[in-house]
């Protein structure tokens, strides 16, 4: 029973990690790749860590370290992804030509227009 849960969680995590890696290779621009990267963490790394916790028990040294790493990833990964996306946008990394929305550009244009009036 416990081994079945571990295998299922490991399969979910491995599948999502693999699709995230394929997405990193195939996505057209850096913003889509950031989305794939955080998907790899939230849906790929966390089930794997939960699998380790279920397999070893939460109070064993392996399970407790896995819980620590999971909490750390949950806290820090959104901050790092946000900082990377912001830095990429500010340094002018071009978007994919097929992108349909750039709300920051629209808002800056609207503010400039309202100041001109």
Where along the sequence are the contacts to other proteins (CB under 8 A)? 3, 6-7, 10, 13-14, 17-18, 20-22, 24-25, 30, 33-34, 37, 40-41, 45, 48-49, 51-52, 55-56, 61-62, 65-66, 68-69, 72-73, 76-77, 79-80, 83-84, 86-88, 90-91, 93
- The sign of the CA dihedral 52, 57, 58, 64 is negative
Structure tokens at 113: 């227009």
Decide whether 99 or 110 has the Cβ nearer to other proteins.
Answer: 99
Nearer to other proteins, 7 or 110 (CB): 7
Please report, to the nearest 10 degrees, the dihedral formed by the alpha carbons of residues 66, 80, 99, 106 taken in order.
140
Cα Dmax for the chain: 69
């Amino acid at each position: 029973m416990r081994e079945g849960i571990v295998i299922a969680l490991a399969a979910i995590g491995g599948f999502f990690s693999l699709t995230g890696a394929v997405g990193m290779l195939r996505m057209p621009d850096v913003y889509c790749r950031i989305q794939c990267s955080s998907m790899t963490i939230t849906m790929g790394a966390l089930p794997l860590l939960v699998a380790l916790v279920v397999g070893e028990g939460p109070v064993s040294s392996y399970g407790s370290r896995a819980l620590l790493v999971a909490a750390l990833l949950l806290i820090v990964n959104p901050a790092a992804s946000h900082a990377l996306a912001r830095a990429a946008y500010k340094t002018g990394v071009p978007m994919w030509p097929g992108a349909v929305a750039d709300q920051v550009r629209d808002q800056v244009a609207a503010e400039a227009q309202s100041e001109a009036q």
